[in-house]
Amino acid sequence: MLKIQLIIFKFFILFFISSSILKAELINPNNNIEPIEVVKIQLAGLQNNDLNYNDFGIKQTWNFAHPNNKKNTGPLENFTQMIKGNAYGVLINHLESTVSLLKKNNDQVEFEVIILDQNKIYHKLLWQVEKYIEEGPLKDCWLTTVVTSPISLGSSI
């Protein structure tokens, strides 16, 4: 009887471990995440948008959007439509990206982002993050304030 209980116990442990691995969690902002990591987290999500579940990457990107941006874009549904639209759609499931520092001060950092879209066309964007200064759970977290529309740089072929 003890042997059967041990087998059942091991089964449940393995089940819970495997289900927690399969259920990817969104990364939440915290003040230990550096500006470049914010951009890389968002880009990785968009590159693998539906890997964990539908629009996971867009939700991950939304998680690091500055509250002022969220006011401008409206709710997540509007943001999702915007990202999937003509201007930003090249970010969804892009093939690769590079991030280069352009400008940095105490509360704001700008990066140049080059992505290679699914059609093997390069695009350049300016990606800006700012340190959130208001009181609350986001205080001192780096959050995205600006992402310019991608500019096509032409084919990689």
Q: Does residue 148 surpass a pLDDT of 80? A: yes
Q: Which domains does the chain have, with CATH numbers?
A: 28-155 (3.10.450)
pLDDT at residue number 15: 46
CA distance 92 to 84: 7
**Per-residue pLDDT averaged across 115-126, rounded?**
97
Arithmetic mean of pLDDT over the chain: 89
pLDDT at residue number 139: 97
- The SS3 call for residue 43 is helix
pTM for the model: 0.82
CA distance 112 to 66: 19
CA distance 15 to 1: 21
- In tens, the pLDDT along 17-65 reads 333 334 579 999 999 999 999 999 999 999 999 988 999 999 999 999 9
Q: Does residue 82 surpass a pLDDT of 50? A: yes
Tokens at residue 123, please? 């695009």
